Structure 1
Amino acid sequence: MRPPLCAFHSKTRTWAAHGHTTPDHPKAHPAPLPISSPLFSSIPRSLQLPRYQYGVFWFLLLAVLCLWLIGPSPAHAAHFRVGVVGPWSCDPLFSKALPSVAAQLAVNRINRDPVLSLAATFDYVILEEKCETSRALDGFMESCQATGFIGPANPGYCDAASLLGKGWNKAVFSWGCVGYELDDVRSHPTFAHSMPRPTWVLISLMQHFRWAQVGIIASSEDSWVETSIKVANSLRSHGMPVRLVVTIGNDPGSVRKTLAKLKKVEDLRLVIMCMHSALIGGGPQKLLLETAKDMRLTEGSLVFLPYDTLLYSLPYHNVTYPALRSNSKLLKAYDAVLTVTIDSPKTSFYQAYQEAIDRGEIAGNVKPTQVSPLFGTIYSSVLFMAHAVHRVKASGEASAMLTHTHTLLTLSKQCCDLFQGFSHPVRTNMSGASLADYVILDTDGKTWDLRPTHRIEMAADMVRFLGRDIHFPHGISPKTDSNCWFIKGIICTGGTHTHTQIYVNHPSFLFVYVSLLLSRRRINHIRLFRGPNKILLTLDDVTFINPSLSNKVSSYRLMQELNIQIDNFTSSTFKKLFLLLFCLSLFYLQNGDWAWLKRLPHGTFRNINPKTSDVFELMKDMRHENINLFLGFFHDCGVFAIVTEFCTRGSMEDLLLNEDVKLDWMFKSSLLLDLIKGMKYLHHRNLYHGRLKSRNCVVDGRFVLKISDYGYNEVLEAAKFPYTEPPAEDLLWTAPEILRGPSPGLYGSLHGDVYSFAIIMQEVVMRGPPFYMLEQSAKIRKPPPLCRPVVSPDYAPMECIQLMKQCWNEEPDRRPCFDQIFDLFKNINKGRKTNIIDSMLRMLEQYSSNLEELIRERTEELEIEKQKTEKLLTQMLPPTVANALKVGGTVEPEYFDNVTLYFSDIVGFTTISANSEPIEVVDLLNDLYTLFDAIIGNHDVYKVETIGDAYMVASGLPVANGDRHAAEISNMALDILSAVGTFKMRHMPDVPVRIRIGLHSGPCVAGVVGLTMPRYCLFGDTVTTASRMESTGMPYRIHVHNSTVKILLELKAGYKVQLRGKTDLKGKGGTEETYWLIGKDNFEKPLPVPPEFKKGQMAHGLQMEEIARYKKKKAEKLQQLTKKNN
């Protein structure tokens, strides 16, 4: 059925002249005027028809309307109207999103899409949402009829809107709703989120930076006040301590009072601003940040975060916002702001909007920079709904698409989907939740550029560092909160676990707590000192290669035992020689692996504190082909050293100085690429090197470069070793900004590592030391002029030299990160393999991997065939019997006190077989037994065997089930009889298939008979009696013995039996009373009507006239086929 006329947009001038809006105006569209309206009488007389032609005119007009309304539908399945709900007229910043243009663009593209348009023909209607929450719900209730809604924008009435959608059976896809209660599918079956929940993004950010204490400030508009309340409730539902939720007015005095309250809250880390962003014209946020700057709240102890940018993709590539460019005060205040927005990695919102203008899809009267990025969210939400409708169509539920919204919502929440939104990709996870990547943008308070620092990947649930540190005001970042806030199941109060407070407050608990703490330290100590993977090493764990050193070490240990101090030793030469030999010596561990020792400065090594233990654990976890493996920490004989894996080719410095090694550009680029990949790995692990130089890069026997000395500064800081200023030649790789700071060489940065890499590039390209002189570090520390190495283009490609210059740029922020360096370096080599040895080894490794993959595939195939064999065996025999036979055991016969047996037989099977081809008989039995097998799978029964047309089932064995065996067999018999009533033979569809069923309960013995093709057989009088019950039964009847009837009646389950009377059971020596099972309470499946058995009728119940009719039809079909062929 077509939608009503009131939902369509008319773009005629007459329509607009009477106060009706076009899609470019964000107002709801009222119903059309009747024919008697002054609209029609206002037509100029020159255009009016003569009176005698009115009848013809109205007749033709009505005919056209009737044909339009009831005429044949187009190829599309149905019309789908999207209602776009929002405060489009009462809030000027919301109206800048141009909802009509966004919805029209989305609808046009959907209807042009050859795939999406197959599901439905889309149109839209703009629904106005009042800015007051109390009136917004009234407006929603009076909305024009739509198939689904995009909205609402005000979270205050999302619950009510969802319930209305449930009552109307209309889908509600919202981008602005926040409440955690909406995730309850049972209460809100027609509600879905068209974009990631903003609170999920907030929690990911808070957990990454460990900022738990949060405050929320909202502007005075109802929608933002409701948003702040819902955000606070959602964060609290995840255990986050929301310390403050306040509202500001539009005057400076109100803002100052609110910030005064904020300033009194202790330990606050994050302030969420629920209001329009100052970057897109939000006045309250601009006033808030400027006042916070005046009140010294933007000094670094607090981070301000705009909430509304979570709802759209804010452009930041090569974009300058006038709010920052023209307002230095706001620019400085914005240094304390982290902007989180949807990441558009390829095309920004402004670029996508301009492309739509260039293609003629959007009018060019509005510049992209004048449009709110919320435009893209509206567009993507409509597209999200279209993809959901498409999945309904693909699932075969298109006929119920418009009337069964639950189907739409269910299928929209299934498995993964990926499509391109307006400017960013949109995908769903396994539960149907909308996912997108977010980016954290930061400024430095000096320039107005928004620079990405981290990416929040919702699909992977992780925050990825992008190589650029966040610039906090004055270098002060907010303090971190306890991890307990982010651990599920732990109650955290003020950063202290609740149970810890109990221990402190109660003396006995305090004793227990201290005991546990000591135990934990003891366990940590054991983990560090013992086991094959222990970290702390002593002389007992190593064997030195230098024999003279081993002797000196033994003498040293003997002096220690005799309480002789080495400092009092008369010869200082021995002490220096000992330490020198120790530093330069190699040793191998007990498992035979060789290793390097990197000696730490002289000092006193204290006990392992938690911080030092964490550093060791971090270094131990480093696993990469271009990272030198950390083996442990040596501390003995007053010497402390970091133990790393031994590389036979020595350091890169040794390799460059070795003239016997010929280095062409392929070899050099291979070493540099290994260095880039290793540093890329370190930076992704949020660890900077700080001491990167050619002598700290080692080369193994395969000429693979590995980075060493990582974590050295962290160990010094954690173990509190005294700082020793390195010699001048060791500072030639150090970045200028670090040289100018205190303690050069002790601290590093990500940008400093890039500078060090550039100096190493100069060493490799020129094959010489850095700067070729030692006194250059003083010039580097105090330019101008800037002092950098000079590299001739003859030594390397020009692209490599340009990359080198970018990496040693004087401004750290202008240096590329290692991800960018890696991409640039690959372009320099144009994708070619950079090392002959490495290429050959990769080929051998690939061949080995192919063999391993082939073996794995064969093993999997063998496992699959084994599973098939076991499955077939368990289908032929009970699982317990099959398992016993597989291990070669014997299966002893088992006696069962009481079981129920089922026998059935096809009535007239001999007659049917005589009038059928053999293959037709096989098809008949296969179809019928497949039907039976599907039914018995729903009951606690065991299929014993089939012999010809006989079907035997038992319950109560091989696993006893109490008194339920009679009920299980009876339920199964009723299901089978109901299914047979509608069963048709493929070759005789007009001939009914009638079966007799017999049931009997009693004891029996079960066991495996035979060695070749063993069978699980049942023995006993119960089997014979059950077979007699079947043979003496009637078609479409369930013949039940008295023993089974007694059990059924004792169960009081509502089984209906009918007395048959005395029945002569052959071989039983007389007659017995038997019964018909005719049904059960609450059994609603239809049962076939048994045929009347007349005197003289054939016992099998299949009349010859039925066969005769079948033969006649078969002969007629054969005759028609013969005539057709002739």
Structure 2
Amino acid sequence: YVGVILIRGSDTPYDYVRSAPAIDLAVRKANSEILKGSGYKLESTIMTYGPLCDGNFASGIAAEMYFRREVDAFLGPGCADALDPVGRLASYWNVPVITGSSILRHRSVGDAGRFKFKENFPTLTRLAYCQCRLRKVFGSILRQFNWTDLSLIYDTNDDYPRSLGDTLVTGLGLGGFEPVVIKFSGNSNVTFEREILEAKKYSRVSILCMSGDSIRRYLIKAYEMGLIQTGEYVFMDVELFPFPGDYWGKHHWRRGDDLDEIAKKAFEALLLVTLVEPKGQQYNEWSTRVKTRAEEVYGFNYDLNEESVNFFVGSFYDGLIHYARTVRKFIETGQNYSDGLTMSHAMWNATFEGITGSVFIDDNGDRDTSYAIRDMDPESGEFVEVAYYWGNKPGYTPDENVKMHWAGGRTAPPPNEPFCWFSGENPVCQPEGPSIVQTGDLVNILSSYQYPILLLYSHSRKYKLEAAIRDMSWLIRRLPDNAAAIELISGSTCGAFKLELEAFLAQQPNRDAVTASTNKSLNETQIFTEIGVYKGIVVAIRNINTIRPITLSRNVLLEISKRRSMNHDNVARFIGAAMEPPVIKILHDYCAKGSLQDILNNDNVTLDEDFKYSLIMDIVKGMNYIHSSDIGHHGQLRSSNCVVDSRFVLKITDFGLPSLYGTHHRNPYQDIENEHIHYERSQKADVFSFAIILEEILARGGPYEFFRGEFSPKEIVTKVKNATGLEPFRPVVSKDVCHPALHALMIQCWDEDPNKRPHFDTVKSAIRNIHGGKDRSLMESLLIRMEQYANNLEGIVAERTSLLVQEQRKTEQLLLQILPKSIAEQLKRGQSVQPETYASVTIYFSDIVGFTTISAKSSPLDVVQLLNQLYTAFDSTLEKYDVYKVETIGDAYMVVSGLPIPNGKGHAKEIALMSLALLHSIGKFRINHLPGTQLKLRIGLHSGPCVAGVVGLKMPRYCLFGDTVNTASRMESHGEALKIHVSPTTRDLLVAEDEFDLVRRGTIDVKGKGEMETFWLM
């Protein structure tokens, strides 16, 4: 039994009227071909929510399907915010979830890429596409043409472009690209001149995430500014497939207006990324069947807007077929297909030919979708496929039979960067020399790397060195108007005791000779961390005071190159540096949770064992990576240099770049030997520093926390420096606060003899063994405990608003009990409800035969209790069908299907199924005060047009009017007990379903209608 959950009444490509016909065909194929002869039959039921992507309603539907219909699998939902709670519930119930889409829409919160984390969605299989894969597609294009500098321009006011832009910002960074992010709030008044000029400063290649109309206006403006004609600029766009309306707009130049000619020329510079379009006779025949069923059963005409059956619809079909095939395998092998986790994993890591083409599902349950890269044919003006990114063969694959066209008459792709750089600041192109690099040094650097040599000897070592010097993208320059390129936001302070200790140490004389420009003291670390915005990215800023300019010598450039190449989850990314005296600003990733020191000083943060383990393990992993890199060691490791990002991943910062930070650093937590504190940087000193951080975590405080109330910072440092004897002055940590093995490891790490201190790979293995062999990240450990670390303000706000929310919910629920949801929503918005005509609905009337006699034998209280119990049972049955209860008057019960939300021709089927269910339930109903009396229900059904509207202001009622209502009432009054009396029009609709047994009653005289041939529904 498959429960299908679809959105309804929306403008989405996976709406109920589009997807349901394809799902019906999949069910037929599963039963007639795949499961034939197995003794099993696949059944499905479709329930809808909408028109918004509402996770509350979708999860409610899932719960009803699971508990009342005992479904074996879910198909859908299609939108991300509805899929999220359904996927989590299904994980708890151990039920498979298959979806043909997981796209963001309707002001969704978050990222549709969340579903790739299968620890949260272990039974979810996605047959459509993952937005996160687009970063690989774009990455393949960029690598194919050697483009490294790019801009990402996206609309934050439109849901799909916003979600795509946010995804690419992160995804491209993971792929080694750092796009300049330019955001705008889209409307028809945006001229795009500012965005184009900003992007032009940093790149020749731009990815545009915006609606189709905005794409056209952007490219027309670029043409008017002369960018297209040069052929030096390339733009890229995503249109998964053409879809009418405003969902993502029309990504084509043709509009039939005066700007078409210019737009066509401008679109020559555009590369369009799409899904590979399904083709072939089989797909065309299937598409025709979907369109036919959509119109005949669901009242939806594909051809009205010249719409094709889209990829998402096909993915729902392929998903159900794949599920049916897996069920067949389980039946043949005797496995339990009700085991959702086993079933889901059996569907993963699979390849098959689907209606949407070749389907490759990876070992994470996500489809590796194939993409096409399209270029516009300048003659026809149509976009043609010139290359592909195949799901089973990642990478750029050109179509050898199609030639790529480049704008501006170019015969080859434009280079990544002009020789004089985007800003024209290449030292070779500036006779007066650069402002930061010293002129004499520049001459020395460039004297052996002249431009002719670059051309003639491009693969030599000298060329590589010159290229390294030219790669100054990390260098932050002032803007042309002399404005700062970094916008400062705020700072973050650390604990008072730590501040006092480090301030004292900063006043101590350095034991080694160091120049003033490179000396570094502790109070210049993250005691106060500046936060700023650079190129649209929030960054952490490390300030270094200097008197004279830093010469960008070969050694400095190589240091920076090494630091930029560092790429690890537990190492903060180096973003750039502003080299303008008197303060050098070094930019790193901004980590929203602050430093480890901030977390330890925050009493509102609870550190359980998993939390502590994850922090410690992240430090060890990061340091192990640094020690194995070309940099070799940290040199100033401390808790203030360990920062935690928004995903609770700890990252290590402030290392490398000795020419900028200084060759020696004053740090009281490093290598302590005999009578002197040496500040020499080494791997063993890093291990000592790690031990001090370990003490801070276990003691939940600063370094030497045990002595905090006994000695001043000055006295602590003196004792460390002047310690004598076998046991030097070390922190005191109780053995009760941690595992004995961890306590012993900490003591070994701060051993007086550096040679006895373990390497970090040894420390890593030891800590993993202490923690039972587990190696979970902090996010994994804390996901189920996130509520423990919620902000206090959220709790206060929730407490003060809970009563208001409860009352609002009660009011809304009361309104929904009186009126249909769509009508209630209109009234809540203050809109007047106009009467509406419905072309075809089916109305149900019933009453209880002999109710007057039963009432005479009962007290008024007994009658009320009887009707309450009966109609409560009826109402419970109605929830399983697409029907709406109009009213109850005494023993009379009125229900309708086909309004207020039309359901095509399915209304007669829904009412018929409901009637049979009610007739079945009445046989089990017992009257408490008359146990020997059997209730007998008399039912009448009729289909036809009617008018519905709200009547009255006080106690408003949703009423139906028209001859259809009268005829349905006559069918009931002329019927018989325990039988369902059906009119000819309803009979014709049920016969078309080919699922019901009807018996001719004959011709009867119906009051007000004359003679009429009627039928019994058996």
TM-score class, shorter: 0.3 to 0.5
Larger radius of gyration, structure 1 or 2?
Answer: 1
**Which structure's relative contact order is higher, taking Cα pairs within 8 Å and 6+ residues apart?**
2
